[in-house]
């Protein structure tokens, strides 16, 4: 079989994504650039009505519902544990330490406190990566092959956050490089973005064994790091890929069907970052019909960055 050149393979992949999103017929003689149209509509709306602050009603594409949630609503992590062997950071003056119990397990509360202390002290992204490399408070690190810290540009205006790395990501040390990552690339391409124009990370930076869901404790231990990562990247728009990352970072309880496409706010240092959840690409691979809705979400994301 004849191989298509790389450029046309990209175009074929993009057409596949359009097709799966329900764009299956050309209704006119002239092609319609929906991304350009969304931008023009957004600009027109912006001229008519002054933009409300990020995360408040009326923003986003079309009539997307609105909800405001703040990271401040999140349950505060509990105080350092008194479990045997736990040395929480701050108690000992030793940053980021959490020693093992007699049973070889790391006590969760001590690990959470150590993670918080370590993350807060990271001055920049490289420092944060180094903190994670040296952190021994999460058991997932013991089974993972590599730390999966981030991909893309730290200067990006859009930051996408998934749940946890899978097998391919663990092997390469980069988020979203497997099948779901390839679909994500096509979705980004559909709104004229690529990996160099976004920043991608996960709530949990180590692969859980067998791709199981991270436990609430593991997620809680990793949460200070991703929170600091968001703070350091300081994007204009946050995109949660799947419900898990949105629940962890926004404290929302809704399922993804209810939550997706609604603009929310992620509060950090007195600033609100516009945030939206959309279907996880892995889910879209299993339920291709839902790509129609994720296409809407991506158009909404596109118009949000134009507005800001």
Does position 80 interact with ligand URA (CB under 6 A)? The reply is no
- Cβ-Cβ contacts under 8 Å for 157 (sequence gap 6 or more): 235, 236, 237, 305, 308
Q: How far, CA to CA in Å, does 299 sit from each of 31, 190, 293?
A: 17, 9, 10
We find the least distance from the C-beta atom of residue 213 to ligand URA, in angstroms, to be 10
108 versus 163: smaller Cβ distance to ligand URA: 163
List 60, 80, 175, 208, residue binding ligand URA (CB under 6 A)? 175
Answer for which of 106, 132, 138, 164 binds ligand URA (CB under 6 A) is 164
SS3 226: helix
163 touches ligand URA (CB under 6 A): yes
Compute how many residues bind ligand URA; rule: CB under 6 A: 11
**b vs e for 211-233, b when ≥16 Cβ sit within 10 Å of the residue's Cβ?**
eeebeebbbbbbbbbbbbbbbbb
Contact (Cβ atoms closer than 8 angstroms) between residue 108 and residue 216:
no
Judged by beta carbon, residue 107 or residue 162, the one nearer ligand URA is 162
Nearer to ligand URA, 81 or 180 (CB): 180
Closer Cβ to ligand URA, 96 or 214, answer by number: 214
17-23 long-range contacts (CB < 8 A, ≥24 apart) are 17/183, 17/186, 17/187, 17/189, 17/190, 17/291, 17/295, 18/190, 18/295, 20/288, 20/289, 20/291, 21/190, 21/291, 21/292, 21/294, 21/295, 22/291, 22/292, 22/295, 23/295
Q: What is the 3-state secondary structure (H, E, C) of 185-200?
A: HHHHHHCCCCHHHEEE
**Under the criterion CB under 6 A, does residue 220 sit at the interface with ligand URA?**
no
Nearer to ligand URA, 227 or 267 (CB): 227
169 binds ligand URA (CB under 6 A): yes
Query: With binding defined as CB under 6 A, does residue 202 bind ligand URA?
Result: yes
Candidates 78-86, 105-113, 174-182, 289-297: pick the segment binding ligand URA (CB under 6 A).
Answer: 174-182
Q: Give the distance between the most distant pair of CA atoms in the chain.
A: 73
**8-16, 48-56, 169-177, 295-303 -> range binding ligand URA (CB under 6 A):** 169-177
Among candidates 9, 76, 31, 86, which has minimal Cα distance to 224?
A: 76
Residue 166 lies near ligand URA (rule: CB under 6 A): yes
Residues 266-285 that bind ligand URA (CB under 6 A): 282
Judged by CB under 6 A, which stretch of 89-97, 139-147, 160-168, 248-256 contacts ligand URA? 160-168
Q: Which is nearer to ligand URA, 169 or 297 (CB)?
A: 169
Work out whether 160 is an interface residue with ligand URA (CB under 6 A).
Answer: no
Task: Write out the two tokens for 304.
Answer: 């949000």
Of residues 110 and 243, the one with the C-beta less far from ligand URA: 243
Kindly state the DSSP code that residue 105 receives in the 8-state scheme.
P
Angle (nearest 5°) at CA 22 between 169 and 298: 50
Pick from 21, 69, 97, 180 the residue near ligand URA by CB under 6 A.
180
Closer to ligand URA by CB, 163 or 220: give it.
Answer: 163
| Segment (H or E) for 180 | helix 179-190
Stretch that binds ligand URA, among 48-56, 115-123, 126-134, 175-183 (CB under 6 A): 175-183
Map tokens 């008519």 to a residue: 48
Q: Are 267 and 72 in contact (CB under 8 A)?
A: yes
Binding stretches for ligand URA (CB under 6 A): 162-166, 169, 175-176, 180, 202, 282
């Amino acid at each position: 079989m004849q191989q298509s050149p790389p450029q046309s393979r990209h175009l074929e992949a993009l057409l596949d994504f359009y097709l799966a999103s329900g764009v299956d017929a050309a209704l006119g003689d002239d092609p319609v650039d929906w991304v350009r149209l969304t931008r023009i509509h957004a600009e027109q709306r912006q001229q008519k009505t002054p933009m409300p602050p990020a995360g408040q009603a009326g923003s986003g594409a079309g009539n997307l519902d609105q909800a405001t949630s703040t990271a401040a609503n999140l349950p505060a992590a509990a105080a350092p544990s008194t479990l045997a062997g736990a040395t929480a950071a701050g108690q000992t003056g030793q940053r980021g330490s959490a020693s093992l119990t007699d049973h070889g397990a790391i006590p969760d509360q001590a690990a959470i406190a150590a993670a918080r202390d370590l993350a807060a002290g990271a001055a920049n992204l490289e420092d944060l990566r180094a903190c994670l490399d040296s952190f021994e408070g999460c058991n997932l690190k013991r089974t993972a092959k590599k730390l999966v810290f981030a991909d893309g540009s730290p200067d990006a205006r859009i930051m996408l956050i998934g749940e946890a790395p899978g097998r391919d990501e663990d092997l390469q040390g980069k988020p979203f490089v497997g099948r779901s990552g390839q679909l994500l690339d096509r979705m980004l391409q559909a709104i004229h973005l690529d990996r160099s124009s976004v920043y991608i990370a996960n709530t949990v930076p180590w692969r859980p064994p067998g791709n199981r869901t991270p436990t609430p404790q593991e997620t809680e231990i990793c949460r200070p790091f991703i929170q600091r990562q968001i703070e350091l990247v300081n994007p204009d728009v946050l995109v949660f890929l799947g419900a898990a990352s949105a629940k962890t970072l926004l404290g929302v309880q809704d399922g993804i069907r209810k939550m997706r496409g609604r603009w929310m706010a992620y509060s950090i240092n007195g600033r609100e970052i516009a945030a939206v959840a959309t279907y996880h690409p892995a889910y879209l691979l299993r339920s291709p019909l839902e790509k129609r809705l994720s296409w809407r979400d991506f158009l909404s994301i596109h118009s949000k960055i134009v507005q800001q």
